[in-house]
Chains A and B, each alone.
Chain A
Amino acid sequence: MSTIPENLKYANSHEWVLDNGDGTVTVGITDHAQELLGDVVYVELPEIGAEVVSTEQFSLVESVKAASDIYAPVNGEVIEVNEALNDTPELINDAPYEGAWIAKIKLSDAADLDNLLDAEGYSAIIE
């Protein structure tokens, strides 16, 4: 079964969101998402400074099977990206919640977090 950490929030489109408590969030894709994707071979990181819009594409993950769009779970500005994914995209499979964060986003509205699912809610949609 997929791991769904209690301390994270989730988007319907299978991204996880860690509230860093300082108006920024860290974003990645869930264990369930990486299981569906299969072996990840490439991650197209967003540009630092890019304005991202909730539910719109902001990154892209390619597995051996197919390309999959990754959607921004919140509105805001990309302030950091995980360069480690350029050389080791397989981190997405090996450590989806640890090493394989994709980007840090500065929230334009902290209330966006309220629109996300908690672990229980996310668990319900992937069953």
Chain B
Amino acid sequence: MKRTALYDQHVASGARMVEFAGYEMPVQYPLGVMKEHLWVREQAGLFDVSHMGQVILRGDNVKVALESILPVDVLGLAEGTQRYGMFTTADGGITDDLMFANWGADEVFMVVNAGCKEQDFAYLKASLVDCDVEVVEDRSLLAIQGPKARDVFARMVPEAATMTFMQSVKFEWQGIELWVSCSGYTGEDGYEVSVPNDHAEAFANAVLAFDEVEWIGLGARDSLRLEAGLCLYGHDIDTHTTPIEASLNWAIQKVRRLDGDRAGGFPGAELILSQFTDKPAKKRVGFLVDGRAPVREGVDIVDASGDVQGKVTSGGFSPTLSKPIVMAYVATACLDSGAALFASVRGKQIPLNLTAMPFVPSRYYRG
């Protein structure tokens, strides 16, 4: 199994290590999932996400080429900013979701999911034929997230204090080049920082030296992203869900939609774009769950007569709301009818209340 450059530090910090996407990763530290989660909502958490894939794409034509495999506006993205996107199949499914940053006229930096990265790298190399696809192997990726993240990180890198959500900039810290984006996957303000492996431990220690910061494991990362209404690849999105079914319509900018100047031209475009007007049969939605019993991935969603109308793709107890929440795919016709829905758990029907996502308001800093 693979290890990140910070493995020894996690073990020394008392982390419980588990296998995740081929890596031994910290699922929790001695604080435990619940307290780690609440710490991020109140203070600042440090996450090792070095298992994720980092790749730099270079070429005169790189942005045009990327638009041929991404359903999003690449050409219109301002330099020094990043955007969310996804790779799609000819059938409109999703093979991974990702972030990419405009690093200049001929350079794009991309971060992809750990579990998909080898496939993604191969796909990029095969698709961007005239571009250089440089997989970044010598850097770690750390996320600093929470209401105190900005204050803490600005004490290390003062220039980062004024960054707004989705900016992506290179800074120096103690003579080391950091690749910093103002983003994350918790719904909180904060940063994702790519740091050379040789300096990852020193960097992590410098962040942890602030009383406001604690290590946070993958367990709390999952409950935080669920509260933020964010999809987890392989659970809430996969090759059997289109971006529209996944309620990711916002991620496909107008310029790539049917009436746009650069409409279509990516895998699955015909189906995906048609779903803006012809509603798909199922849709990703969020529910608050009655009572306290968590409703988990795989649970059936039924109507009052017991007919299955959908399935939970992510579910758990929300530490912030102190109640269970779920993301699920539900038949669009059933949602439109306003029918009462229930989670079928151990023979009981637990009432569900449809709710807008995010479940917990996001606190991204937009200036």
Contacts and interface: CB of A to CB of B under 8 A. Distances in A.
Contacts of B291: 42
A44 B348 CA distance: 12
A10 to B, nearest CB: 24
Nearest to B316: A64
B294 A67 contact: yes
Interface string A55-90: 000001010111100000000000000000010010
Contact of B294 (A38, A62, A86): A62
B269 interface: no
B293 A42 contact: yes
B223 interface: yes
A66 B317 CA distance: 10
Given A38-B28, A41-B317, A42-B317, A64 B293 contact: no
Interface in B19-37: 28, 32-35
A47 interface: no
Contacts, number: 40
Instruction: Report, as a range, how many residues of chain A touch the other chain.
Output: 10 to 19
Contacts of B282: none
A89 B291 CA distance: 12
B292 A89 contact: yes
A39 interface: yes
Given A38-B32, A39-B32, A39-B33, A64 B317 contact: yes
A89 to B, nearest CB: 7
Given A38-B33, A39-B33, A41-B317, A65 B219 contact: yes
Contacts of B35: 39
B296 interface: yes
A67 B28 contact: no
A121 B317 CA distance: 35
Contacts of A89: 292
B26 to A, nearest CB: 14
A39 B34 CA distance: 6
Nearest to A93: B32
B143 to A, nearest CB: 20
Contacts of B316: 64
A39 B29 CA distance: 13
Contacts of B294: 41-42, 62, 64, 67
B34 A42 contact: no
A65 B296 CA distance: 10
Interface in B333-348: 346
Contacts of B346: 60
Contacts of A67: 294, 296
Interface centre among A42, A65, A66, A89, by most chain B C-beta atoms within 10 angstroms, is A65
Contacts of B34: 38-39, 41, 64
A71 B209 CA distance: 45
Contacts of A38: 28, 32-34, 219
A39 to B, nearest CB: 4
B360 to A, nearest CB: 16
Interface in A84-115: 86, 89
Contacts of B219: 38, 64-65
B317 A62 contact: yes
A64 to B, nearest CB: 5
Contacts of B293: 42, 44, 62
Interface in B265-294: 291-294
A9 B170 CA distance: 61
A39 B322 CA distance: 12
Contact of A65 (B33, B292, B319, B324): B33
A44 B293 CA distance: 8
A89 B323 CA distance: 12
A67 B317 CA distance: 12
A20 B93 CA distance: 60
B32 A41 contact: no
Nearest to B223: A64
The 4 closest A-B CB pairs, nearest first, are A39-B34, A41-B317, A42-B292, A64-B33
Given A38-B32, A64-B316, 11 more contacts: A38-B34, A41-B34, A41-B292, A42-B317, A60-B346, A62-B293, A64-B34, A64-B219, A64-B319, A65-B33, A67-B294
24 contacts: A38-B28, A38-B32, A38-B33, A39-B33, A39-B35, A41-B34, A41-B317, A42-B291, A42-B292, A42-B293, A42-B294, A42-B317, A42-B324, A60-B346, A62-B293, A62-B317, A64-B33, A64-B219, A64-B294, A65-B33, A65-B219, A66-B296, A86-B292, A89-B292
